[in-house]
Amino acid sequence: MPPTPTRPDVVPMIVRIEKWNAAFWNAFMLSVGAFFMLVPFLWMLVVAIKPRSEVLSYPPTFFVAHPTLDSFRDLFRMIPMKRYIFNSFFVASSVTLSNLVLCSMAGYAFAKHKFWGRDTIFVVLLASMMIPWQVNIIPGFIFVKKLGWLNSYQGLIVPAMASAFGIFLMRQFIRSIPDDLLDSARIDGCGEFYIYLRIVLPLCKPALATLATFIFIQQWNNFVWPLIIIHNADMRTVPLALSVLNGQFDNRFGMLLAGATISIIPMLLAFLFFQKHIIKSFAFEGIKG
């Protein structure tokens, strides 16, 4: 028996329905995942604005009967939180800026210049990424101590001024810039630094934004290295301050979570500020393959 002929307008409708179903289920699954990821942050904010009597009440609820900012006031009154925020912001910003400059310059050299041992040096650089960071703690501490950089900004900033990951990221992105564009600039009499500053860097905005976000968040959350080399209370960063809160005020849950709430605000702002460039960078890398 011959198959029943299909109307020509039915097939596109079936395809559209299948696309709508796929889009709906994708959005549904992503929404469920986002909800479960946001619940801990919502609970952190709820506890931070609860009075102490509601925080200790049982059973715990998300409902806040009498919202208050007393936990935030106590946080800044009992410890020098402003100083800790400044320390973290200064260190994270300095490390981020130095990584953007040094990693982009190194990536430009590895991507667009030929020199003796270039590929070997780059392979060694990639191999260093396989070494666990815990291996460098003791040698790094001895080195910083001999330089007299304990309890100082130099000890927090200088060891992290460049990273193998940043050099790799910038080198891969700069490789996609056409050589003809750079050669035409050289023919016009432009020097290498001018080419790097006026041509390469503007084209690398997505990669620079991605690197800046990763480095800033990493340094803002850095806990182990400051814990090792910082012994002066005035030089503590926000993660160290939160550990002090957990040890000295372990029964002040509202104040602890108020500090945690403040600690995630700069990371959230950094991501939101560079979100467009980060998405563009990932999309470009996906298209390039």
CB 173 within 8 Å of CB 204: yes
Q: What is the mean pLDDT of the chain?
A: 83
Instruction: Give yes or no for residue 94 having a pLDDT over 50.
Output: yes
Instruction: Give yes or no for residue 27 having a pLDDT over 80.
Output: yes
CB 167 within 8 Å of CB 110: yes
Which of 209, 228, 206, 221 has its CA nearest to residue 270? Answer: 209
pTM higher than 0.75: yes
Q: Which two tokens stand for residue 18?
A: 């299948």
What pLDDT is attached to residue 289?
46
Instruction: Give yes or no for residue 255 having a pLDDT over 60.
Output: yes
Topology adopted by domain 70-288? MetI-like fold (1.10.3720)
Q: Confidence class of residue 287 from pLDDT cuts 50, 70 and 90?
A: very low
Average pLDDT over residues 27-54: 83
**Omega before residue 139 within 30° of 0, cis:** no
Amino acid making up residue 124 = V
Average pLDDT over residues 45-66: 77
Give the CA angle between residues 265, 250, 46 to the nearest 5°: 45
Q: Which two tokens stand for residue 119?
A: 């590929």
Map out the domains of the chain as residue ranges. 10-48, 70-288
**Interval 128-159: pLDDT, tens:** 888 888 888 889 899 999 998 999 999 999 99
Q: Confidence class of residue 284 from pLDDT cuts 50, 70 and 90?
A: low
Q: How far apart are CA 247 and CA 234, in angstroms?
A: 17
What pLDDT is attached to residue 52?
76
Amino acid making up residue 104 = S
Q: Which two tokens stand for residue 288?
A: 């390039």
Phi, psi of 77 (to 5 degrees): -85, -35
Q: Which two tokens stand for residue 209?
A: 């934004």
